[in-house]
Amino acid sequence: QGTRGPARRGKIRGTRPEVTDPGPAAADRVCPLVRRESLGGAYALLTFEHRELAQAKAGQFAMIQPEAPGDLILRRPFSIMDTDPVSGRFTIFLKAVGPGSRTVFDLREGENARVLGPLGRGFSPPREGERVFLAGGGYGVAPFALFSRVLPPGRAALHLFYGGRSAVDLPLIGELERRDIPMTLSTDDGSRGEKGRVTGPLLSALSETAGNARLYACGPGAMMQAVARIAAEREIPCEVSLDPWMGCGVGTCLGCVVKIQEPGEAGPKNRPACTEGPVFDSRRVIWPHGDPA
Amino acid sequence: QGTRGPARRGKIRGTRPEVTDPGPAAADRVCPLVRRESLGGAYALLTFEHRELAQAKAGQFAMIQPEAPGDLILRRPFSIMDTDPVSGRFTIFLKAVGPGSRTVFDLREGENARVLGPLGRGFSPPREGERVFLAGGGYGVAPFALFSRVLPPGRAALHLFYGGRSAVDLPLIGELERRDIPMTLSTDDGSRGEKGRVTGPLLSALSETAGNARLYACGPGAMMQAVARIAAEREIPCEVSLDPWMGCGVGTCLGCVVKIQEPGEAGPKNRPACTEGPVFDSRRVIWPHGDPA
Amino acid sequence: MSAKSPAAGPSLQVRIGALTLKNPLLAASGTCGYGVEIAHVVDLSTLGGIVTKGLYLAARDGCEVPRIVETPAGLLNAIGLQGVGIRVFVDKFLPQLRAYDTAVIVNVCGETVEEYAEVSRIASEAPGVHALEINISCPNVKTGGIAFGIDPVMTHDVVAAVRRASSLPVIPKLSPNVTDITVFARACEEAGADAISCVNTFLGLAIDVESKKPKLAFGTGGLSGPAIRPLAVRMTWQAARAVKIPIIGIGGIASANDALEFFIAGAAAVQVGTLNFSRPNIYAEIEGGLVDYLTRHELSGIHALSGTLQYPR
Amino acid sequence: MSAKSPAAGPSLQVRIGALTLKNPLLAASGTCGYGVEIAHVVDLSTLGGIVTKGLYLAARDGCEVPRIVETPAGLLNAIGLQGVGIRVFVDKFLPQLRAYDTAVIVNVCGETVEEYAEVSRIASEAPGVHALEINISCPNVKTGGIAFGIDPVMTHDVVAAVRRASSLPVIPKLSPNVTDITVFARACEEAGADAISCVNTFLGLAIDVESKKPKLAFGTGGLSGPAIRPLAVRMTWQAARAVKIPIIGIGGIASANDALEFFIAGAAAVQVGTLNFSRPNIYAEIEGGLVDYLTRHELSGIHALSGTLQYPR
Ligand SMILES: Cc1cc2nc3c(=O)[nH]c(=O)nc-3n(C[C@H](O)[C@H](O)[C@H](O)COP(=O)(O)OP(=O)(O)OC[C@H]3O[C@@H](n4cnc5c(N)ncnc54)[C@H](O)[C@@H]3O)c2cc1C
Ligand SMILES: Cc1cc2nc3c(=O)[nH]c(=O)nc-3n(C[C@H](O)[C@H](O)[C@H](O)COP(=O)(O)OP(=O)(O)OC[C@H]3O[C@@H](n4cnc5c(N)ncnc54)[C@H](O)[C@@H]3O)c2cc1C
Ligand SMILES: Cc1cc2nc3c(=O)[nH]c(=O)nc-3n(C[C@H](O)[C@H](O)[C@H](O)COP(=O)(O)O)c2cc1C
Ligand SMILES: Cc1cc2nc3c(=O)[nH]c(=O)nc-3n(C[C@H](O)[C@H](O)[C@H](O)COP(=O)(O)O)c2cc1C
Ligand code: FES
Ligand code: FES
C-alpha cells in the first residue's frame, strides 16, 4: 500500500501542551461489572468498579476481556467513556462487532472482567479561550462524554458534532444530552439531524467562528481524515484518536502501529498507537489511503 | 501395559438375548435444557426436552455439548439416567470433573445443548424369574434409575447396591428412593450405610439367594472388575457398563476401544465401547490391569 | 467440467483427475470409519465422497488407550491405524457403501512399497472404489507411515508403485512435518499422482504432569483440528503453486469460511476431519455457506474460486 | 547449581551455560518489547530474564498493518522485526533495564552472517547484557531470518560466527518449520552454542475470504500461542534428547501446567510469549504453580524435573 503525506504542511504549532497529566499508572485489574445497560441492537453501556481506573483521563482506553476463560487469546481495546472518581466507577460504551467485543458485551452484572488500563495518551486540554469543536461518530463519540465534563472554564465554548449513517447509529444521544453537551446531529440519510456528514455542520460552524478554535475528532477513519484535512487547510490545531487493531495495549506487540511523522523527521515512522496515542496531533498522521479527494 | 485374560473361564452362556430393542435411531439434535437441579457440590440433574431421545433404552448414552460455541472440540458422553416418553423429556446425572463436563454443568435453563444420541447398546433384560442385582457407584448408578423402572414383571426381585467413598459421594440416593428402588448403601468410610465396598453386601445377598441371579455393574473400573470376578466365580451372568474416554460416540474415532474377547476368538480385540457397548457381558471383558488380587 | 450459469445457481462440482465429485466436500480418513458407521447420523449422499480409515492388507489392532486427547483448539491422536484390512473392507463394507451416491476413496497404508501396491491392486479391482488416497504420513505407526512421507525419494517410490498397480486416481496424502512441502508435492506429481491431499496431522506430544507420562499410550500423536488450520492453509497454498495437479485441502475446517480459505489458497476440494466427531452434520452447513458465498461473489462454481488468492508479493 | 533442600523450599534457580537464572521463567522475544515498556505492568525483578525484541545493526520499520490476527487458540503475526537497532538499545534502553534484577538476553538478528556477528559484538561489549539469543527463525522478513534456520549448514555458520564474536552465552533460537529439529540442535551444539531456544513460530497463512487477500499485510505470518504447544513440547523433547546443552522451551505456555510439560520434556527453562499480551502478570501464577508442584512431588528444585518424562518406548 503506497502512503502519501498530508496535502499541505502549514507551519506546525506545538499543539500538545508540555505537561499533560498522564493519569494513573496502568495495571492489570479484575473489575466487577456493576451496571449493564442495553442501548438497543449491538450497543450497550458497561459500568465497572475500580478506584484507579476511575481516575482515567479523557481519551484513554483499556484492554478488556471477561475473567472467565474463553476461546480468545487477546483482549480488545475500549475507550473509557466516562468516570466517577467519587464512587470509583468507570463506564465504557460498547458495540458488539465480532467475537471479542461480543464476549465483553455478554458479561452479566456481578461478573468480573480483566481490565488492563488506563492506557495511552488522551486528549490534550484546549488553551485558554479557545473554541472547542468535537467531531464524533460510531463508538468514537464515547470519550467526548468524559472530555467535555472535565474541561476547564472554556467549557461553554464547546460544541459536539455527532454523526452517523442513520438515526439508529446515534445510540449515545441520550447519554450526551444528560451531560448537556451542546450538539449538532447529522446522518447520511437525514433520518436524524442534518442530512450529510458531520463535516458539513462543522464547516459552517467554523466559518462563523471568530478567534481561535481547536478540533478533536474520534470515529471512522474517513471522518477523522476529513476533519484533519479541514484543520490543516485552516491551520487549526486538531487531535484525532486512532483505533488500529491492538494486541497488547502496552507497546510490546507492535501490532497497532500507525505512520506518524514528527517535525524535522525525514519521513514517517511506524509508531505504536497504544502508547504514543491513541490521540495524535492530526498533522503528524500519515493516513493509510492518502488524502481523500 | 500387559493385559491378562480373566482368571477362570466357566462355560459361557449367551447372556444377551438375541433380540434387544436397539432403541430409536441416533441423530444429532439440539435440545433445550428445561430443568436444572443442583445436587450439591459438583453434582447436578439436567433435564432436556426431545421426543426421540425420551425413547432411549436403559444403559444408552449421548454425546453432549452446549450449543453456544466454546473452546472445546469434542463432546462428552453422559448416560441417559431416566426418560419421560410422555412429556418427551430425558434426564442426565452429571458430575463436573473437568472442562467438558463443566460446560454442560454450567448450562442454564432455557439454553440449548447439542445432543448426539441415543447411542450404544444398553443393558439386556433379565430372564423370567431371575433375581436382579445392581451394583452402582459414582455417576455409574445413573442408568439404573431408568433400568429399574422399565423392568418387566421380575421387578420385585430387583436390588441395588449403591456405594461410594463417603456419604457425600451418594448424591443420587434421593432420586433412587423416589423411584422406590430397594437399595443397600455402603461407604468406604462408613459415614453412610454399611462400611466397606459395595461387593460386601452384594456377596452376602448372593449367598442368601436361591435360584438364578443376574448382575449388572456400572461405576468405577475397580468396582466393576470386582463384581465381574464375583460373577465369574459363581458363573452368574453379569453385564458391566464401561466408560472409556470417548471422542465421537459413533464408532469412527476409535478412541474408546476396550479389549473384548468373544467366544471362539484366539485373543482379545480392541472394540469401540461406544457402538459395541458401553454395556458388555463381563466375561468378554479383558480388564486393563488384569485381575485384582 | 459443466460450470452452471449463475442463474442456475453456482456449481459445486469438481474434478480430481479422472474423478468427478458432485461437491468438493469429503469426509477425511480416520474420522468417518468406513462410512457406514455414520450413515444413520449424516446422509452420506450429501457428501462429495468419503475417505476410508487407513487400510493395510491385514487387520490391525492399533495402539493402546488413551488414544485421543484434546489440546487447545486441537485433537492429539495415536490410534495406530486399527482397521479390518482391505479384503474385509471390500467384502463387508464396500457393498453397503455402494448404496449411497458418494465417491468412495480408500486410504491405502503399507509397511513396504509392495504392501502399498498390493492393497492398491485389491482396492482397484473391487467395484465401487473411486480413488486411492496413499497414506504416507501417519505419525502413529512404528514402521512405514510417516517415514515414507518425509523422504522425497521414498515418497516417489511409493506413489510410482501404486501408480503401476492401479488405474484409479492416485492421491498421495502429504505429511506437514517437513521443511518444504513443495518438494514432496513435486515428487508426487512426477511419480504420476492425479492429485494431492494436503495435509495429515502434525507430530505432537502432550504430557500428564502428575504421572510424568505422555497423555497418549503410544507417546507422541498427530495434532489435528482448528489449531493447525493456518499451517494447513499455508501448505495448501504452497503446494498448489508448485504443481499442476489438484490439491485437496485438509486441516481444521469447522465452517464454510474455513473451507473457503482453502479454496482461495488453491484447493480444488477439501476434507473435514476432526469436526466430524463433534459436528457430524457440518456438511450441510458448509455446503450452504459455499453456495451463498459463490452467489454473492457471482462465481459460476467453486472451481472458479480455487487459487484466487491475491498475494501481496 | 545450589539445589536447596526441600525443607528450605524447592529451588527455581537454573543454569544456562555460564548464565545462572534465579528462576526459569523468561519473557520471549517480541512479546515484551525491550522490557521497559512493561515495567509498570509487571515487576521485571520477578522474571528470570527478558529477551529483547529482535535487533539488527540499524533501526527497522517492519511490515505494514495488519500485523497480527487471532486464529483458533493462536496468534498469527508478521511484525517484520521492527526495532530500534542494537546501538540505540544499548544507549537508551539497556541502562534503564539494569535497574531490575533480571537477566537481559538480546535477540540478535542479521541479514548476513557478518551482521549477526557485529550485532553480537556490540551487545557483548555493553554492560548489562547477560546472553545472546540468535534469531535464525523469524518467518517474517524477506532476507535472512528463517532462511538461516532451515539449513543446517547456514545455522552452523551463523552460530559459529557469533561464537567467535562474543564470550557471552550463545543461544540459537530454532525454527519449528523443519523436518527434523535434532539435526539443527546438533548443528548448534557443534558450532559452540551454550543452549538452544526451542521454538520460534510456525509459518502460517490466514485468508480474508471476502477480499481474497491474506489477513496480514505481509502475507504469511508466524503462528504462536496454545495452539502450537503440543508441537513445541514434542520438539523440546526431541532436541533435549539429541544434545547435551540445555534447552529453553517455548510455545503456547499459558499456565504452570503448560510450563511443567516443557520441563518434564527436557527443558531447563521456558519462555512465555503470546500470553504476555493478554496476561502480563502470568509469571507470578506460573511461579506459584511450579513451587507447589515441586513441593508436592518432593523435588529439590526445577532442575531435578527436567527431562523426567517416562516415555513408553
Ligand atoms: C483505542 C481504541 C478504542 C476503542 N474504543 C472502543 C469503544 O469505546 N467501544 C467500542 O465498541 N469499540 C471500541 N474500539 C474498537 C474495538 O476494540 C473493536 O471493535 C474490537 O476490538 C473488535 O474485536 P472483535 O473481536 O469484536 O471483532 P473482530 O472480529 O476482531 O473485528 C470485527 C471487524 O472489525 C474489524 N476491527 C477489529 N478491530 C478493529 C479496530 N480496532 N478498528 C477498526 N476495525 C476493527 C475487524 O477487521 C473485523 O472486520 C476501540 C478500538 C481502539 C483501538
Ligand atoms: C458411556 C459413558 C457414560 C458416562 N456417563 C456419565 C454420566 O452419566 N454422568 C457423568 O457425570 N459422567 C459420565 N461419564 C463420564 C464423563 O463423560 C466424563 O467425566 C467426562 O467426559 C470428563 O470430561 P471433562 O472434560 O469434564 O474432564 P477431563 O478433563 O476430560 O477429564 C477429567 C478427568 O477425568 C478423566 N476422564 C475423562 N473422561 C473420562 C471417562 N470417560 N472415564 C474415566 N475417566 C475419564 C480424565 O483423564 C481426567 O483425569 C460417562 C462416560 C462414558 C464413556
Ligand atoms: C482420530 C483420527 C484418526 C485419523 N486416521 C487417519 C488415517 O487412518 N489415515 C489418514 O490418512 N489420516 C488420518 N487422520 C488424519 C485426518 O484424515 C486429517 O488429515 C487430519 O485430522 C487433519 O484434518 P482435521 O484438522 O480436519 O482433522 C486421522 C485423524 C484423526 C483425528
Ligand atoms: C508478536 C510477536 C513478535 C515476535 N517477535 C519475535 C522476535 O522479534 N524474535 C524472536 O526470536 N521471536 C519472536 N517471536 C516469537 C516468540 O518469541 C515465541 O518464540 C513464539 O511466539 C512462541 O511462543 P508463544 O507461543 O508463547 O508465543 C514473536 C512472537 C510474537 C507473537
Ligand atoms: S497494541 Fe501492542 S503495541 Fe500497541
Ligand atoms: S467414541 Fe469414537 S469410536 Fe467410540
The two counts, helices (H) then strands (E), for chain A are 6, 16
Amino acid B253: pLDDT:
97
**Averaged over A162-170, what is the pLDDT?**
94
Q: Which of A15-19, C6-10, C123-127, D198-202 has the lowest mean pLDDT?
A: A15-19
CB contact D141 to C (< 8 Å): no
Q: Is C138 a catalytic residue?
A: yes
- Would you call C212 and D177 a contact, using CB atoms and an 8 Å cutoff? no
What is the C-alpha separation between A153 and A141, in angstroms, rounded? Answer: 22
pLDDT, tens digit, 9 for 90 and up, residues C59-97: 999 999 999 999 999 999 999 999 999 999 999 999 999
Atom of ligand 3 nearest to the CA of C271: 26
D157 close to D112: Cβ distance less than 8 angstroms: no
What percent of chain B lies above the pLDDT cut of 90? Answer: 74
Which residues fall within 8 angstroms of residue B285, CB to CB, at 6 or more apart? B6, B228, B240, B242, B258, B259, B260
Q: Which residue do the cell numbers 452446549 mark?
A: B66
Strands B82-84 and B27-38, sheet pairing: unpaired
pLDDT of D28 reads 98
Which residues of C, range 15-74, sit inside 8 Å of D by Cβ?
A: 71-74
Is residue C227 in contact with ligand 3, taking CB distance under 6 Å?
A: no
Within an 8 Å CB–CB cutoff, is residue C215 touching chain B? no
Q: What angle do CA C65, C67, C70 make, to 5 degrees?
A: 130
- Which ligand lies nearest to the CA atom of residue D136 in the structure? 4
Residue C289 exposure: Cα atoms within 13 Å on the Cβ side: 18
The identity of residue D206, as a single letter, is: A
| Ligand nearest the Cα atom of residue A122 | 1
What pLDDT shows up at residue C220? 96
Compute, in angstroms, the gap from residue A253 CA to the centroid of ligand 4. 9
N- to C-terminal Cα distance for chain A? 17
Taking the CA of residue B273 as reference, the ligand 6 atom at the shortest distance is 4
Ligand 1 proximity of A269 Cβ (cutoff 6 Å): no
The ranges of chain D with pLDDT < 70 are 1-7
H helices of C208-311, where? 229-242, 256-265, 275-278, 282-296
Query: What confidence score (pLDDT) does residue C116 get?
Result: 96
pLDDT, position A13: 30
Beta-sheet strand order (sheet of A183-187): A194-195, A183-187, A158-164, A131-137, A213-218, A238-241, A279-281
Cβ of D120 closer than 6 Å to ligand 4, yes or no, is no
Give the β-pairing of B76-79 and B61-66.
antiparallel
d(CA D299, CA D4): 10
- What residues of chain B have any CB closer than 8 angstroms to a CB in chain A? 69-71
CA distance C1 to chain B (A): 33
3-state secondary structure of D278: helix
Q: Do B28 and C73 touch (CB under 8 A)?
A: no
pLDDT at A290: 67
Alpha helices in chain B (DSSP H): 99-105, 143-150, 173-178, 199-208, 221-234, 273-276
3-state secondary structure (DSSP) of residue A61 = strand
How far is B104 from B249, CA to CA, in rounded Å? 17
Residue indicated by cell numbers 502429504: C174
CB of A177 within 8 A of CB of A193?
no
C-alpha cell at B260: 473384548
- Measured between alpha carbons, how far is D215 from D205 in angstroms, rounded to an integer? 8
Q: Give residue-wise pLDDT tens across range A234-267.
A: 999 999 999 999 999 999 999 999 999 999 999 9
Within its chain, how far is the Cα of C216 from the centroid?
A: 23
Nearest CA distance, C261 vs chain D (angstrom): 6
C255 at B interface, C-beta within 8 A: no
Alpha-helical regions (H) of D191-254: 229-242
- Is residue C150 less than 8 Å (CB to CB) from chain D? yes
Regions of chain B short of the pLDDT cut 70: 1-23, 152-156, 290-293
pLDDT recorded at residue C146: 80
For residues C204-219, average pLDDT? 97
Given a cut of 50, whether residue C196 has pLDDT beyond it is yes
pLDDT one-digit tens code per residue, A1-37: 333 333 333 332 323 333 455 668 899 999 999 999 9
User: Is B28 touching C (CB cutoff 8 A)?
Assistant: yes
The closest residue, in CA terms, to atom 34 on ligand 1 is A97
Percent share of chain A, pLDDT over 70: 89
What is the pLDDT, as a whole number, of residue C2?
Answer: 44
Marked catalytic residue, from D32, D63, D109, D138: D138
Do the Cβ atoms of A253 and D77 come within 8 Å? yes
- What is the average per-residue pLDDT within C276-296? 96
Q: What is the mean pLDDT of residues C213-239?
A: 98
Question: Which member of D74, D227, D312 has the closest CB to residue C214?
Answer: D312
Task: Give the type of residue at C195.
Answer: A
pLDDT digits over C36-60, tens only? 999 989 999 999 999 999 999 999 9
Report ipTM (2 d.p.): 0.93
Contact check, Cβ <8 Å, D205/C265: yes
Task: Report d(CA B293, CA B174) in Å as an integer.
Answer: 34
Give the pLDDT of residue B70: 86
- Shortest Cα distance, chain C CAs vs residue B155, angstroms: 34
Subunit partners of chain D (3 or more CB pairs within 8 A):
A, C
pLDDT of residue B79: 97
Burial class (CB in 10 A: 0-12, 13-18, 19+), A242: buried
